[in-house]
Amino acid sequence: MTKTNLPPAEDDPHPEHSRDAPLSIHDLTVAYHRKPVIWDIDLDLPEGKLIAVVGPNGAGKSTLLKACLDLIPRVSGDIRVYGKPYRQQRSLIGYVPQRESVDWDFPVSALEVVTMGVYGSIGWFRPVLRKHRAKAQEALEKVGIGHLAGRQISQLSGGQQQRVFLARALAQEAQLYFMDEPFAAVDAATERAIVALLRELQQQGKTCLVVHHDLATVARYFDHVILLNMRVVAAGPTAEVFHNENLQKTYGGKMPLLEEAGQALRQNLS
Amino acid sequence: MTWYTMDTWIVVVGALAGIACAIPGCFLVLRQMSMMGDAISHAVLPGLALAFLITGSRASVTMFIGAALIGLLTAVFTQWISSWGKVERGASMGIVFTTLFAVGLLLIVQAAHHVELDPGCVLYGALELTPLDTVTPLFWLGLGWETPRAFVVLGIITLVNLALLLLFYKEFKISSFDPNLATTLGINAQKMHYLLMSMVAVTTVAAFEAVGSILVIALLIVPAATAYLLTDRLSTMLLLGGGFGVLAAAMGHFLAVWLPEVHGLPDVSSAGLVAVTSGIFFAAAVLLAPRYGMLGKFLNRRPLKKHKAATPLSPEKT
């Protein structure tokens, strides 16, 4: 796996405007059938942070991720990863799609799915070798389900399936991770495991952009947050931008109840 | 019962069609696009007719190219209509292939005024007649070895499909399971889709000369679906799929020879019986498959006495 020279991790006075930000999004607009889904997105992600993308249903959270990854066409927008166009930097990016996006009845084992994470580094026409499977096994051990490697994936619980996806992303050995709702419908143990994993990735200087739906845990899990509702309502350190006023702007009238619940929970937990 | 060399050739041709079809067929089943085979096999009709009308000959190469091109166009049109027209894939497939099939029928009737190009034969094929149409494929080596043309064509297609499968095994696997991840890894899922569709188109055209445009669907889908019920591994599924294709060809033709003698049935279609046999295999798998069959599900529902933990597959475990 090729490692490019990464900018030094020391404190940059203006991380938001760094040319070498893990991800810079300029003027991104995406439309389905001429109806804009997200527009005018301008973002620079700080390096080595856990960043939540938060917003109501239909706010374009997944769309934002997919547009950055060239999975859906953009009307406009320039995506740069560590200062270079996305296409040159694929090997630096790990992707955890939504769990429902694949068919879990597919005849593959957990280990085989995780091995797919290293396909990018194997290259065309080359077979999967023992060392690739060993790396996948290692990633499975890391997420705590090494003993389930041989299971067909439909015979795993929802939490275990999510761990398989995370293990696959780990096997990619990326610098920048896109995760689409990794916490959706997982058990408490898996949730803790995912958080521990995110922290570990952060300690290694990696950046994680995570679509997150549970407002109650945003402040505990993430140090940066992007509030999204078609446009970016606010983006920055959680302590600065994750407050009632911004949340109301993001969620509209439905917000106060949720926010109260969230605040209550946060106070209980801290 | 009398079994001629001709019968062996018929089985060999059917078996090759079975293997060639099972390879793309397995991926069609897994991608939940089984009807794409149906669509393509119908839509190639205007390709055949156009190639004939343009070149004025029934030379197999031009017909083959025309049909395969139109088959690929079916996949492209289907993709366009479903992405631009706000129509789901199944519906757009229905629009494309019925339209192309109708155009093909009109063209064939037109062409039939000049020469025999029998629509019935296109639909049902003529497996029994394949040994009669022979070529000498090794004439350029100075060898006079005469062999059925269908054997040569399907043999080549089978080898090509096997080679593509081996070359692109992991790419087919990942782009079928998780096309988005594949694309982010630099394995363009769209291109893999069209490679698969080209395989379906070419295989369908090659096989339907033998078994007809409707029965080729049976060989594409039924053995693959049977195999899907019997295994949890993609590689095993591909092997079983090919195996069931071969078995169906052998059993089907055997029944076609045997039934008239035993039951005095006047005339039986081999291709028809090949399809029926693969259907019987599928029914047996639905009933008896260890894990996904009815029997397996019934047995699994009984309370577990001893839970057997899955053993890790790690090759590096020490």
Question: For the segment B175-232, what is each residue's pLDDT rounded down to a tens digit?
Answer: 999 999 999 999 999 999 999 999 998 998 888 777 777 678 899 999 999 999 999 9
Question: pLDDT band at residue B59, thresholds of 50, 70 and 90?
Answer: low
- Closest-CA residue in chain A for B232? A107
| Strand A176-180, strand A76-81: pairing | unpaired
Best A96, A112, A138, A143 member to test B by mutation, with max B CBs in 10 Å, is: A112
Q: B84 pLDDT band (50/70/90 cuts)?
A: confident
Catalogue the E-assigned strands of chain B.
Answer: 134-135, 147-148
| Whether A71 and B309 lie within 8 Å, measured CB to CB | no
pLDDT tens per residue across span B136-174 = 877 777 777 888 888 998 999 999 999 999 999 999 999
* Mean pLDDT, residues A150-170: 94
Task: Spell out the domain ranges in chain A.
Answer: 16-269
Q: How confident is the model at residue B119 (pLDDT cuts 50, 70, 90)?
A: low
**Token code pair at residue A66:** 């997919």
Q: How far apart are CA B56 and CA B200, in angstroms?
A: 26
Q: State the pLDDT confidence band at B297, using cuts at 50, 70 and 90.
A: confident
Please check the confidence at residue B110 and state whether its pLDDT lies above 80: no
**How far, CA to CA in Å, does A165 sit from each of A147, B19, B250?**
16, 33, 43
Residues of A in contact with B176 (CB under 8 A): 106
Confidence check: pLDDT of A7 > 80: no
CB contact (8 A) between residue A107 and residue B187: no
**Whole-number Å distance between alpha carbons of A208 and A198:** 8
> A109–B233: do the CB atoms touch at under 8 Å?
yes
pLDDT confidence of residue B115? 56
At B315, the pLDDT band (50, 70, 90 cuts) reads very low
Q: pLDDT-based confidence at A167, cuts 50/70/90?
A: very high
A121 → chain B, closest CA residue: B185
Average pLDDT score over residue span B247-261: 90
Which of these, A48, A11, A47, A45, lies nearest to A200 by C-alpha position? Answer: A48
CATH topology of domain B5-214: ABC transporter involved in vitamin B12 uptake, BtuC (1.10.3470)
| Residues from A in contact with B at Cβ < 8 Å | 33, 66, 69-71, 90, 93, 95, 97, 101-103, 106-109, 111-113, 116, 119-120, 122, 124-125, 127-128, 130, 133-134, 137, 146-152, 168, 172
- Let me know if B302 is exposed, middle or buried by CB neighbors in 10 A (0-12, 13-18, 19+): exposed
Cα distance between residue A224 and residue A234, in whole Å = 11
Question: What's the maximum distance between 2 C-alpha atoms anywhere in chain B?
Answer: 74
pLDDT confidence bin for A112, thresholds 50/70/90: very high
pLDDT of residue A138 exceeding 50, the answer is yes
Look at B48 and A211; give whichever has higher pLDDT: A211
Q: Where do we find the tokens 């997105």?
A: A41
Strands A93-96 and A176-180: parallel
- Report d(CA A2, CA B198) in Å as an integer: 34
DSSP one-letter string for B269-284: -HHHHHHHHHHHHHHH
What dihedral angle (degrees, nearest 10) is formed by the CA atoms of A190, A191, A193, A196? 170
pLDDT tens for residues A40-72? 899 999 999 999 999 998 889 999 999 999 999
Helix B60-84 to helix B89-112 angle (10° resolution) is: 150
Which of the pair, A145 or B129, is modelled with greater confidence? Answer: A145
Collect all residues with Cβ–Cβ distance below 8 Å to B199 and sequence separation of at least 6.
Answer: B23, B24, B161, B164
- How would DSSP label each residue in A207-226? EEEEE---HHHHHHH-SEEE
pLDDT attached to residue A165: 96
Percentage of chain B lying above the pLDDT 70 cut: 87
Q: What is the mean pLDDT of chain A?
A: 87
Distance CA B188, CA B194 (A): 10
Angle among Cα B215, B221, B223 to the nearest 5 degrees reads: 100
Q: What is the spatial distance between Cα B218 and Cα A183, in angstroms, rounded to a whole number?
A: 42
* Predicted confidence band of residue B252 (pLDDT cuts 50, 70, 90): very high
- Do the bridges between strand A35-45 and strand A23-32 make them parallel or antiparallel, or are there none, so unpaired? antiparallel
| Residue of B195, B193, B248, B194 lying closest to B220 (CA atoms) | B248
Contacts of B306 (CB under 8 A, 6+ apart): none
Instruction: State the CATH class of domain A16-269.
Output: alpha beta
Residue whose entry in the numeric block shows the structure tokens 């492209």: B76
Partner residue opposite A109 with nearest CB, options B168, B171, B313 = B313
More confident residue, B113 or B66: B66
Enumerate residues 6+ apart whose C-beta is below 8 A from A149.
A109, A110, A111, A114, A137, A140, B310, B312, B313, B314
User: Residue A100: which residues within 8 A CB-CB, separation 6 or more?
Assistant: none
Torsion A126-A127-A129-A134 (CA) sign:
positive
Nearest to B127 by CA among B3, B261, B250, B259: B250
Contacts of B225 in chain A (CB under 8 A): none
Tokens for A173, please give them: 């050995």
DSSP characters over B103-160 = HHHHHHHHHHTTS---HHHHHH--GGGGGGSEE-TTGGGT----EEHHHHHHHHHHHH
> Could you tell me if B312 and A130 are in contact, meaning their C-beta atoms sit under 8 angstroms apart?
no
Instruction: Give the model's confidence band at B122: pLDDT under 50 very low, under 70 low, under 90 confident, else very high.
Output: low
For A13-45, what is each residue's pLDDT tens digit? 334 445 678 999 988 999 887 788 898 899 999
Residue B118 confidence (pLDDT): 64
CB contacts of B316 in chain A (<8 Å) are: 130, 133-134, 137
Between B45 and A163, the more confident residue is A163
Query: Tokens for B197?
Result: 């569709």
What percent of chain B clears pLDDT 90, i.e. is strictly above it?
40
**Sequence ranges of the domains in chain B:** 5-214
Asked whether the beta carbons of A218 and A247 are under 8 A apart, the reply is: no
Find the CB nearest A151 among B32, B186, B310: B310
Residue A101 CB coordination number (10 Å): 13
Using CA atoms, how far apart are residues B282 and B294, in angstroms rounded to an integer?
A: 12
Q: Tens digits of per-residue pLDDT, A196-250?
A: 999 999 999 999 999 998 899 999 999 999 999 989 999 999 999 998 888 888 8
Q: Please give the pLDDT value at position A20.
A: 77
A268 to chain B, closest Cα gap in Å = 39
ipTM: 0.84
Q: What is the pLDDT of residues B264-283, one digit of tens each?
A: 766 778 888 899 999 999 99
CB contact under 8 A, B174 and A116: yes
**Beta-bridge partners for A35:** A32
Mean pLDDT of the B94-103 span:
90
Residue type, A83: G
Q: How far is B284 from chain A (nearest CA, A)?
A: 20
Set of chain B residues whose Cβ sits within 8 Å of the Cβ of A103: 30, 32, 177
